[in-house]
């Protein structure tokens, strides 16, 4: 099988390295060879690894070549990459991509195009790097009705949260973000990662696979991590939680919920053990129960490994082709649960002036809405000022929002109420 590598950045280098290093192994295992015909990228790749491979700057040209069976799209972005994939599929080439944004935004049309031309469009590398979560949901859990899935699917955000939890109150969010940028874990413009957009792309793909729906990116509730304060990490620890940025998709009573937000996760839960740039996804099937897959969420080797696994499926003819899950005809948009009706526990941190009766007034507001409390504590910040910190039992979002609005209007509440959802 002859392939074109389009894009000579980190992942392109990773894929090329694996195919070179493990060529004999892959051929022995599959009985077939995977050969790189050409590397295509806008500028001449300088990396040593590409030196014996033909190069073209005319990326689109690979789609017309007889000596290219599969186009590997590793350029990123949603404009040129989209044109390349459309051209390749239309020319009868299968495509392997790591492009989560493109799949999440334009996947339905691209899968339809692949089906029309009877070729495959594979994307294992688009979600969670090395972790084979696409294959696990699509194949290993194919006999299961999935109830929900929850994942740490952005390594940058998880690195920042891990550092903030370890740093104590001395470091601000901005300082930790700067460290992540210095280490190469965060982009110069980190918006996509820290505001949850990248995670929403990935969640959109996982949700579509798990619940047999089209890609419904616009319906993901998205909240980033930039509003977290170091004091929230302190209270999380004291209350027995860690703060993780989770993507959660759930289908209940025929209604779909998709959300990306910071979450209080019990410190003993398995997702709380996933630190630094690691990723993990927990999927709950009706038969299998909960399955966790964890590993490196990014990097040349891990993401390259996922791309190569798709290539191996193609060379062996063992991939389901066409639609999202190899089953486009079965996809059906699900009604989305209104945000106000989504149920979760909540952590609230309320900054108050110490006045007689303030605790009583706070708890009365919650009690009036039958919001029951799991934990509550009060801690002095300064003379006459303290935090009231509480964790509620599960409650509809609309109810807690109303309560927060009313709390906010209390004269003794002197700063915006912080609220973070609790994961189970």
State the residues that interact with a second copy by CB under 8 A: 14, 17-19, 21-22, 25-26, 28-31, 124, 130-132, 135-136, 139-145, 212, 268, 270, 273, 280, 285-296, 299, 301-302, 304-306, 308-309, 311-313, 316, 318-320, 325-327, 329-330
Between 92 and 143, CB nearer to a second copy: 143
User: What gap in Å lies between CA 117 and CA 286, rounded to an integer?
Assistant: 35
- Decide: 347 and 417 in contact? Cβ < 8 Å: no
Rounded to 10 degrees, what is the CA torsion of 383, 388, 389, 392? 180
Query: How many beta carbons lie within 10 A of that of residue 360, not counting itself?
Result: 10
Please give the DSSP secondary-structure letter assigned to residue 337: P
Give the tokens for residue 302.
Answer: 């891990």
User: What do you get for the CA distance between the two ends of the chain, in Å?
Assistant: 47
Please give the DSSP secondary-structure letter assigned to residue 413: B
Please report how close the Cβ of residue 256 comes to a second copy at its closest, in angstroms.
Answer: 16
202 is catalytic: yes
Between 76 and 326, CB nearer to a second copy: 326
User: What gap in Å lies between CA 4 and CA 26, rounded to an integer?
Assistant: 18
Cite the DSSP H helix spans in 66-196.
80-90, 100-116, 133-135, 155-167, 173-182, 191-194
- Decide: 37 and 54 in contact? Cβ < 8 Å: yes
User: What gap in Å lies between CA 19 and CA 336, rounded to an integer?
Assistant: 43
Between 68 and 136, CB nearer to a second copy: 136
Output the CA–CA distances (angstroms, integers) from residue 173 to 225, 235, 249, in the order listed: 9, 16, 27
Please report how close the Cβ of residue 83 comes to a second copy at its closest, in angstroms.
Answer: 28
- Catalytic option among 93, 100, 138, 202: 202
Beta strands in 154-296, from DSSP E residues, in sequence order: 221-222, 241-252, 255-266, 278-285, 289-296
Categorise residue 236: left if φ over 0, alpha if ψ from -120 to 50, beta otherwise: alpha
User: What gap in Å lies between CA 391 and CA 384, rounded to an integer?
Assistant: 23
Residues annotated catalytic, as ranges: 202
């Amino acid at each position: 099988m002859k392939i074109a590598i389009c894009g000579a950045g980190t992942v392109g280098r990773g894929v090329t390295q694996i195919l070179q290093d493990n060529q004999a192994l892959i051929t022995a295992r599959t009985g077939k060879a995977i050969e790189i015909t050409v590397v295509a990228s806008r500028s001449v790749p300088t990396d040593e690894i590409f030196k014996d491979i033909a190069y073209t700057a005319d990326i689109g040209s690979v789609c017309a070549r007889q000596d290219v069976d599969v186009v590997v799209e590793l350029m990123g972005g949603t404009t040129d990459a989209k044109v390349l994939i459309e051209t390749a599929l239309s020319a009868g080439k299968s495509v392997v991509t790591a492009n989560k944004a493109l799949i999440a935004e334009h996947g339905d049309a691209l899968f339809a195009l692949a089906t029309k031309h009877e070729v495959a469009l594979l994307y294992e590398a688009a979600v969670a790097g090395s972790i084979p979560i696409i294959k696990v949901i699509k194949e290993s859990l194919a006999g299961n009705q999935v109830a929900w899935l929850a994942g740490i699917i952005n390594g940058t955000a998880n690195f920042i949260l891990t550092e903030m939890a370890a740093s104590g109150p001395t470091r601000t969010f901005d300082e930790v973000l700067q460290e992540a940028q210095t280490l190469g874990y965060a982009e110069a413009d980190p918006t996509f990662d820290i505001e949850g957009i990248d995670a929403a792309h990935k969640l959109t793909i996982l949700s579509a696979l798990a619940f047999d729906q089209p890609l419904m990116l616009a319906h993901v509730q998205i909240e980033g991590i930039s509003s977290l304060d170091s004091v929230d990490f302190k209270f999380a620890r004291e209350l027995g939680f860690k703060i993780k940025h989770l993507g959660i998709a759930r289908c209940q009573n025929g209604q779909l919920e998709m959300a990306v937000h910071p979450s209080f996760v019990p410190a003993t839960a398995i997702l709380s053990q996933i630190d630094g740039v690691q990723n993990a996804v927990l999927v709950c099937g009706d038969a299998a129960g909960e399955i966790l897959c964890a590993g490196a969420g990014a990097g040349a080797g891990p993401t390259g490994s996922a791309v190569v696994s798709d290539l191996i499926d193609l060379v062996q003819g063992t991939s389901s082709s066409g639609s999202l899950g190899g089953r486009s005809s079965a996809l059906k948009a699900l009604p989305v649960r209104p945000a106000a009706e989504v149920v979760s526990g909540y952590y609230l941190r309320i900054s108050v002036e110490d006045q007689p009766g303030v605790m009583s007034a706070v708890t009365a507001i919650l009690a009036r809405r039958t919001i029951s409390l799991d934990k509550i504590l009060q801690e002095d910040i300064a003379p006459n000022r303290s935090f009231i910190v509480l964790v509620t039992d599960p409650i509809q979002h609309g109810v807690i929002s109303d309560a927060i609005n009313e709390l906010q209007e209390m004269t003794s509440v002197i700063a915006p109420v912080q609220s973070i959802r609790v994961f189970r």
